[in-house]
Amino acid sequence: MRPKTFVQKIWLTISLVVVITVSFSYFLLNYFYKNLYVDKVEQTLVEEGKNIAADYHGGPITDDYRQQVEWYNEKSTAEVLLVNNPRELSACLPFEVDYDSLIHEADRETLLLGKVVTKIGYEKRFGRKIMGVVVPLLDHHRLEGVLYLYIPLATIQDMTKEVAIIWLPLAGLFVIVLVIFGKKMANRLVGPLKEMEQVAYRMSHGEYEAQIRIQADDEIGRLAKAFNIMAKAIYEEDMRKREFLANVSHELRTPLSYVKGYSEAILQGMVKTKEEEKKYVKLIHREAGRMERLVCDLLDLARLEEKSIPLQKTLLVFSQIVEDTIEKYEPFLQEKAITITADLNPDIIIEGDADRIEQVIHNLLDNAIRYTPTGGEIYVKLTPVGNERCQLVIRDSGKGIPKDKLPFLGQRFFRVDAARTRKEGGTGLGLAIVKQIVQLHHGTITFASEEGKGTEVVIDLPVWKEADTSSE
């Protein structure tokens, strides 16, 4: 059996509700007919019969009493008969009833006890049921006669006839409209879900840019909105992965080409002298080192972004780390005759991972020295900012960076040099790593530059504050 669709389930639910509502209405109608109308008629007949019987004071039934009953019969909406012998009651009726004897022996015993007997039966003359009550006229324990009061019962159709003339066409129209509207409503409710199914199917085939139309601000509308956000996030993540793979491939392709070309030249005997062979081996070693740095930087950046590297935070004298790192670059500074000026506040203490903070300063100094021309200057300054933060400024006198490219600094594989030349070294990941480390230390990094005058990098970090113990 083919499973039902969601639209069919909603439509069936609506139809089932309609059927239950109609059935419940029919049940209520019959319940009120029996408990309100029929019982009320019986109660009225019994009360009238007992009132008339109250005027009988025993002995043979007199003509005056019979005339009194006839008078009451003319005034009452019910038919009232006075019969001396209950067994002859059927013969006294002006019409046939659907039972042979109106009063049976059991009824007679009930009447002798002074109790009222109620009868309901179908009568062809009226084309409907009639209700009759038999009230005994007792002289001590002798049944002198009975009062028989009867009235035709209105049917449910009679009671609702006037209403039915208006109600039935409207009810039919209501059912038709409800069925049509129910199907449209089901389609409207399920429409976004179908669209989500189609978009999800397209996404499974790599079409992440697909979006769902938001038609309402209800639960389904909000679900569609969340689905669009998720699709956009997946799309952006997919783009980043593609860009990442393209960048990695691009970065590895050149050194691999060098390694392959030089090694093939050596293996095929194209290198004639020892000097040439040594030169090629050095080139292979250099490119292998470049690939090693690239892989290490990629692994390092991935772990920093995933926060999978636990930081070993301790209290650090910030200026000492800066001085130690600058000292390691002395040979390179001398080689390019670069003058470095350091203005470091020795009282600034931060809480951080010493190796990672040193890596930050190392990467920034490495860039500053790389892009500062021979005979240039580098300025390093560490100062407090207020009572809770400090700033480390590293400013070089290099060629500077165009302003439109400053926002891209810190992105993976971003190089200011559009030609992606590697003659100045670098993997394009250094600033991305610096940015992640600074963020993990709750700091910020900003860049300012002017072409032809140099670049300034500012790192803002929180300083360590000794806990106030005066209140203890």
Per-residue pLDDT reduced to its tens digit, 42-72: 888 899 889 888 888 888 888 888 888 888 8
The strand pairing partners of 132, in sequence order, are: 119, 150
Residue 160 has pLDDT above 90, yes or no: no
Encoded tokens for 437: 């480390």
Top-confidence residue, 416 or 311: 311
- What is the C-alpha to C-alpha distance for residues 216 and 241, in angstroms, rounded to an integer? 34
Question: Do residues 393 and 458 make contact, with C-beta atoms less than 8 angstroms apart?
Answer: yes
CATH number of 6-154: 3.30.450.20
Pairing of strands 377-385, 339-344: parallel
Output phi, psi for 397, to 5 deg: -115, 40
pTM over 0.85: no
C-alpha 382 chain-centroid distance: 50
Residue 434 has pLDDT above 80, yes or no: yes
Encoded tokens for 440: 């993990």
Taking CA 209 as the corner, what is the angle to CA 208 and CA 210, rounded to the nearest 5 degrees? Answer: 90
- What is the C-alpha to C-alpha distance for residues 288 and 285, in angstroms, rounded to an integer? 5
The strand pairing partners of 135, in sequence order, are: 147
Encoded tokens for 270: 């194209």
Burial class of residue 323, CB neighbours in 10 A (0-12, 13-18, 19+): middle
- Domain spanning 314-416+428-462, CATH class: alpha beta
Encoded tokens for 92: 């006294």
Burial class of residue 166, CB neighbours in 10 A (0-12, 13-18, 19+): exposed
Identify the three-state secondary structure at position 353: strand
- Comparing CA positions, the residue from 351, 334, 332 lying closest to residue 389 is 351
The number of helix segments (H) and strand segments (E) in the chain equals 13, 11
Question: Do residues 49 and 116 make contact, with C-beta atoms less than 8 angstroms apart?
Answer: yes
- What was the pLDDT predicted at 364? 93
Question: Do residues 342 and 318 make contact, with C-beta atoms less than 8 angstroms apart?
Answer: no
Residue 168 has pLDDT above 80, yes or no: no
- Comparing CA positions, the residue from 231, 204, 226 lying closest to residue 214 is 226
Residue 301 has pLDDT above 60, yes or no: yes
Residues in the chain: 472
Domain boundaries along the sequence of the chain: 6-154, 314-416+428-462
Question: pLDDT-based confidence at 472, cuts 50/70/90?
Answer: very low
Encoded tokens for 152: 């035709």
